[in-house]
């Protein structure tokens, strides 16, 4: 079974927490990390089955787009992407490791 990695980038911690919550509730995915990129930019990273990650990323995008910014015209949703079956090299470099042990600990 192939696993995927999905990412949604937003501006601000409250939107990041809300998006992470929506992503984890929308599909059976594991929250791997919330990476503070720069300033107030936060990237939410999830792992799981390819179809579940795609659903979670789409739900996270929609949730971020529905949030109201502090100032009119500001964008909270910045970008998103998902990678089905990432390369072993990517797994070695980035902190997005995910294996059966991780899945088992999430289900208990």
Contact 97, 46 (CB under 8 A): no
Domain 3-94 has CATH 3.10.20.340: no
Using 50, 70 and 90 to split pLDDT, how confident is the model at 50? Answer: very high
Q: Where along the chain do its domains lie?
A: 3-94
Percent of the chain surpassing pLDDT 90: 57
Average pLDDT score over residue span 4-11: 94
Q: Which residues contact 83 (CB under 8 A, 6 or more apart)?
A: 4, 5, 6, 90
The model's pTM: 0.81
Report how far residue 37's alpha carbon sits from residue 43's, in angstroms, rounded to the nearest whole number: 7
């Amino acid at each position: 079974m192939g696993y995927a990695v999905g990412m949604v980038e937003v501006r601000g911690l409250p939107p990041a927490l809300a998006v992470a919550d929506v992503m984890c509730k929308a599909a059976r995915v594991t929250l791997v990390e919330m990476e503070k990129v720069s300033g107030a930019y936060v990237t939410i990273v999830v792992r799981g089955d390819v179809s579940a990650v795609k659903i979670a990323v789409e739900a996270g995008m929609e949730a971020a787009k529905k949030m109201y910014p502090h100032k009119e015209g500001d964008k909270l949703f910045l970008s998103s992407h998902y990678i089905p079956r990432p390369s072993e090299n990517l797994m070695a470099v980035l902190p997005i490791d995910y294996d059966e042990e991780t899945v088992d600990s999430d289900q208990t």
